[in-house]
A and B are shown apart, each in its own frame.
Chain A
């Protein structure tokens, strides 16, 4: 009998010991809600094998070698950490920072980033590699700064035409761009390409000016059909910034339907950690923004509303789609949350607000 009671006591003790400490439950649940399972960065192991089997290729298609990752092995972790920071920021937005009220025990969740409230001012350094055939005037520069300010502060006049479905989602990001400096260098190069040569003095370009405190814009002839390109937060500091083709910089008649400065708005959106609105994949591939509808590809031209893809209406007028300049006129509130996250404490562009 004594043995039986002793065994039962041991069993009861074991069960009680295995119960989670109630003080630790809340923070552990908070950790579990920061879901990173859909985050993707492509690595060398994803390099696809050639195949004549089209179906098999389709599945492998997007898994390819990333030159930047190869050259910069720490980038993958940095991008993961930035995404996790962003998601933690968004998760805690409007919530108490320590909902359990306890001290968190030994397994504390990541701290909620402190948001930066109010207007963010971003000094802009314009680096121009001047090709006489594609002049960049002071008027182009001034108009570009004005367009960025209009677009990031919900002052684009075209926003008046936003469909009712998206009207409540239009964001004012409260970001002000100020012209900090203009650097000019003569260039006869007709194609600078997309390998960042224009960003390096050693390759004939212009070095970035203090990229932890300035947004560097390079204006040059990119060539190859590319209007502009960007770099996400977390990349190499020396190449941090945005590149815009000369004809597409500011209000510029030479740019045609892309001559109204929205290439810069789109690329600065990437610089602020926004993805293309269709997530660069099929319906299931997301842009990591909750209030933008899923889509399976870019929209071009000036699409009529509604444009239906993936069983919902595309937000074709979003700056992160590929439509003509005059047909894009909004960031969403969810995109604004992602932008604000990078300026929060421990965020990759926190230096701009401190």
Chain B
């Protein structure tokens, strides 16, 4: 009986672990900001993180811990409160660079457009975290 209970517990833990791993894998982050003479992009798909900083491209395969950290960071961001802050009038005279952020997290899609040089603090912190894995 004890063996059976331990076996069931093991199966349950395994199932939970697989589920959370599945959730982590389905998290994706895509950000791209471009203007004449400048490009910056972040791509996190499954466990591959790639950052293009003005054509200096760095790529890494992330282990479980960084993926958990990224998910935790995303969890702390209230995407419903994040405001788009790009002005078409600034874009029209090249005063600003438009950055488009697309996040898939906890089975929800979020999309925002920012002034790349004036990112909301939460997003700036998220990018710092991602950049740190490549330094």
Contact = CB atoms under 8 A, between A and B. Distances in A.
A258 B37 contact: yes
B21 interface: no
Contacts of B88: 40, 42, 62, 64, 66, 280-281
Interface in B75-108: 79-97, 102, 108
Interface stretch (A53-61, A90-98, A176-184): A53-61
Interface of B: 33-38, 40, 54, 79-97, 102, 108-113, 116-117
A249 to B, nearest CB: 13
B24 to A, nearest CB: 20
Contacts of B80: 50-52
Contacts of A267: 93-94
Looking at B92, B97, B116, the one whose CB has the most chain A CB atoms below 10 A away is B92
Given A50-B83, A64-B87, 13 more contacts: A50-B82, A58-B111, A64-B86, A64-B88, A194-B95, A224-B116, A225-B38, A225-B97, A225-B117, A226-B97, A226-B117, A275-B92, A322-B35
Interface stretch (A105-113, A117-125, A197-205, A228-236): A228-236
Nearest to B88: A62
B87 A66 contact: yes
A193 B92 CA distance: 16
Contacts of B110: 52, 54
Contacts of A60: 84
Given A298-B36, A322-B35, A42 B89 contact: yes
A150 interface: no
A50 B97 contact: no
Given A50-B81, A50-B83, A258-B37, A57 B111 contact: yes
22 contacts: A41-B89, A50-B79, A50-B83, A51-B80, A52-B79, A52-B110, A54-B110, A57-B84, A57-B111, A60-B84, A64-B84, A64-B88, A193-B117, A194-B95, A225-B35, A225-B37, A225-B116, A226-B94, A227-B94, A270-B94, A281-B88, A298-B36
Contacts of B92: 232, 270, 275-276, 280
Interface residues of A, number: 43
A291 interface: no
Nearest to B34: A300
B65 to A, nearest CB: 27
Contact of A322 (B36, B81, B82, B111): B36
A184 B90 CA distance: 27
Looking at A61, A231, A248, A267, the one whose CB has the most chain B CB atoms below 10 A away is A61
Contacts of B91: 280
A-B pairs, 8 with minimum CB distance: A225-B38, A54-B111, A322-B36, A224-B117, A194-B95, A229-B94, A227-B37, A229-B95
Contacts of A226: 35, 38, 94-95, 97, 117
A29 to B, nearest CB: 32
Contacts of B83: 48, 50
A50 B93 contact: no
B44 to A, nearest CB: 17
A65 interface: yes
Nearest to B97: A225
A227 B36 contact: yes
Given A50-B82, A50-B84, A224-B117, A231 B35 contact: no
Contacts of B108: 52
A224 B116 CA distance: 9
A51 B87 CA distance: 17
Contacts of A224: 97, 116-117
Contacts of B93: 229-232, 267, 270
Contacts of A275: 92
Looking at B81, B83, B88, B93, the one whose CB has the most chain A CB atoms below 10 A away is B93
Nearest to B33: A225
A194 B33 CA distance: 17
A300 B37 CA distance: 9
Nearest to B82: A50
A67 interface: yes
Contacts of A281: 88
Interface string A31-50: 00000000011100000101
Nearest to A224: B117
Nearest to B36: A322
B83 to A, nearest CB: 5
Nearest to A321: B36
A60 B35 CA distance: 21
